[in-house]
Structure formats: structure tokens, C-alpha cells
Amino acid sequence: MLKISKKTIIRFIWWWLVIIPGIPFVLGTLGFAIYVYWPRDFSSATQFPLTRGIEYISLSAHGVKGSPADWSDELQSLMATNPYPQLGDIKQQNHSIDWQEFSGNVFLCSVAGRKIGVEMGKRIAKQTSVKAIHAIGHSCGAFVVLGICEGAKSVHSQLIVQTTYLDPVSVYSGIFWDYGIEHFGSCGDFSDTYIDTRDTVPGSNQLLPNSHTTDVTPKKPTKDEHYPPHDWPTRFYIDGYKQNQVPVYYRNQ
């Protein structure tokens, strides 16, 4: 009669209850990581004409499954035609970032957005005339903003950078849930954030410890009731800019 040792039984149970069931999870996680971090060509989003001799540039990035037409185009047009007084005498450029090719996937947008931002930030910082950058991002576009700051500062640490976050998504790479909360505002000379606490998107309804955060939840007028919580901060910011009620950070060097 075949005798099976207790050690063999334990090993058998271990394999069938732990090892084998865990294989799909490990392979799935590995496949997901490869998909998210796979090298991509981001030139469709990062390559845009830079005006010669610019000293100040503002850029804005739409969120996941969004488009520049949602709010970004309007904001940059407003900034171009109605600059704040401290920006009136310097040569400026305004750019609404179109990264729809990479922002449509909620699992990809954070990693892709950050890489896009880093590439853009480095490219802008290499323009010797540039003195300041103002990067504004909504939802997953917050990672584009973070990347712009990181890229620019890696090339020119003394370059003035303001980062503005509008209802930012915090989840990075699909697994780091508090990444944005911990990092947004940590790069740059000044950072401001606008949130709606009724939003259920992770991170979009919380105060950011590294950024001056404004809760705009109670500030919505009746005429703007149709804006959902996740989109309301973008409208609040545009209206605030029109009335010179949101900060624009710039100092002469």
C-alpha cells in the first residue's frame, strides 16, 4: 500500500490552494504592468510649435476621456487675451494640450500623462528664453501637470513653475491610490488646487497637503447646477480667472 507522507500532503495542498490559483494573478499583474509601462511614442501630444523668445508659457491638460474642447481651449484663449497685470509686459505662449490618444484608458492615463508631461517640461525648459511655466490639469490631466514640472525642473531647477490641479485623480498606475495626494504640489514654486467634495473619483475630493486647496463645493451658483461635481472645478477656475480671483504666480528674475 502506497504511503503518502504528511509533508507530501501539505505540499500538495499548498500547490493547489496557493501556488496554482496565484499564477493567473501574477501573470495578469505582469501583463498589466507591461501594458501600462510599455514604451510609446508620445510625439503627437508633446510636439507643438514653441514661439521664439517666449518668457512665460501656460499649458492645460484635459482629463480621462476628455478633450481640449471641454474647457482647456476656452481657458487658454482667455489667458491669451486677458493676461494678469504681472504678465502684461512679457512675451507669452498659451497651449491647450491634446492627449486624447492616451487619456481614454483609465488604467493607462496616469502613467502616459506623466511621461507626456516630463517630455514637454524638458523641451520647454531647454528654451533659454523661458522664465516661467504655468501647468493646469483636470482629472487624470493632473499627472501631465506633475510630469511637466518634474521634467522642467530636471533641466532647469531655477525655472519658475506653478502647478494648478482641478479635481485631480490620485490613482497612479492603477494600484497606487494615494500617489497624487502625496505628490501633487510637491514639485514647483507654487501650487493651487480646486476640488468638489461630492466627487467620488479617488483623490478628487480631498485636500492636498502640498498644494493650496480650495473646496469649491459650496460655491456653485444656480446657473452652474448642470455641471457634475467632477467638472465643476474647471468652470469655477475659468470664472475665477475672468475675475482675477485665482492666483497666477510670477516674479521677475
**Are both 18 and 117 inside the same structural domain?**
no
Q: What is the pLDDT of residues 151-163, one digit of tens each?
A: 999 999 999 999 9
Q: What is the pLDDT of residues 27-59, one digit of tens each?
A: 444 444 555 556 779 999 999 999 999 999 999
Per-residue pLDDT at 132 exceeds 60? yes
**CA dist., res. 46 & res. 27, Å (int):** 32
Band of pLDDT at residue 221, cut at 50, 70 and 90: confident
**CA dist., res. 136 & res. 241, Å (int):** 12
**Are both 93 and 26 inside the same structural domain?**
no
Give the torsion through C-alpha atoms of 184, 202, 68, 110, to 10 deg: 60
Cell of 161: 513653475
**Are both 98 and 54 inside the same structural domain?**
yes
Average pLDDT, the chain: 87
Query: Could you give the number of structural domains in the chain?
Result: 2
176 domain residue, yes or no: yes
**Are both 34 and 159 inside the same structural domain?**
no
252 domain residue, yes or no: no
The pTM of this model reads 0.85
Range of the domain at 20: 7-38
**Are both 165 and 229 inside the same structural domain?**
yes
**CA dist., res. 210 & res. 25, Å (int):** 35
122 domain residue, yes or no: yes
**CA dist., res. 176 & res. 16, Å (int):** 30
**Are both 72 and 144 inside the same structural domain?**
yes
* Higher local confidence (pLDDT), 89 or 249: 249
C-alpha angle 200/203/207, rounded to 5°?
110
